[in-house]
């Protein structure tokens, strides 16, 4: 979905390096999310934000941090990357209402930590 743009699409980094994954959206949605996808594990929620300055931990937030710089931008940082953070990372957005508003996903960032 071109309305949710993730950069970079692919990234290879070394253990211990700090990296940032960027997400921007043109949908005007208040809610933004970061998910991680691993084969056989589905998607797991890392962090989510309901508005600028609102940050909430998901089920697997350890080793990650986020920043909601503006309504349209939500970045994910790995302060010191480790190999088990190798995964496909997705940013998603949704409207505030109605409650069952679907998530709109970006195309993902494939991260490899060597």
Partner 1 sequence: GEDVEQSLFLSVREGDSSVINCTYTDSSSTYLYWYKQEPGAGLQLLTYIFSNMDMKQDQRLTVLLNKKDKHLSLRIADTQTGDSAIYFCAESSLEGGATNKLIFGTGTLLAVQP
The residue ranges that bind partner 1 (CB under 8 A) are 1, 4, 31, 35, 40-45, 48, 58-59, 90, 92, 94, 99-103, 105-108
CB of 17 to partner 1, least distance (A): 25
Nearer to partner 1, 16 or 68 (CB): 68
Nearer to partner 1, 8 or 16 (CB): 8
CB of 77 to partner 1, least distance (A): 20
User: What tokens were used for 57?
Assistant: 């931990």
User: What tokens were used for 99?
Assistant: 């409650």
Nearer to partner 1, 35 or 85 (CB): 35
Tell me, letter by letter, the H, E, C secondary structure of the chain: CCCEEEECCEEEECCCCCEEEEEEECCCCCEEEEEEEECCCEEEEEEEEEECCEEEECCCCCCEEEEEEECCEEEEEECCCCHHHCEEEEEEEECCCCCCCCCEECCCEEEEEC
Nearer to partner 1, 58 or 63 (CB): 58
CB of 80 to partner 1, least distance (A): 27
């Amino acid at each position: 979905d071109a309305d949710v743009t993730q950069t970079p699409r692919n990234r290879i980094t070394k253990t211990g390096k700090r990296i940032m994954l960027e997400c921007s959206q043109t949908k005007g949605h208040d809610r933004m999310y970061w998910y991680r996808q691993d084969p056989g594990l589905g998607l797991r929620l890392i962090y989510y934000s309901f508005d600028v300055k609102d940050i909430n931990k998901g089920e697997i937030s350890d080793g990650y941090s986020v920043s909601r710089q503006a309504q349209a931008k939500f970045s994910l940082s790995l302060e010191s990357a480790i190999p088990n953070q190798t995964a496909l990372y997705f940013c998603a957005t949704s409207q505030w209402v109605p409650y069952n508003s679907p998530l709109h996903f970006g195309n993902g960032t494939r991260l490899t930590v060597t």
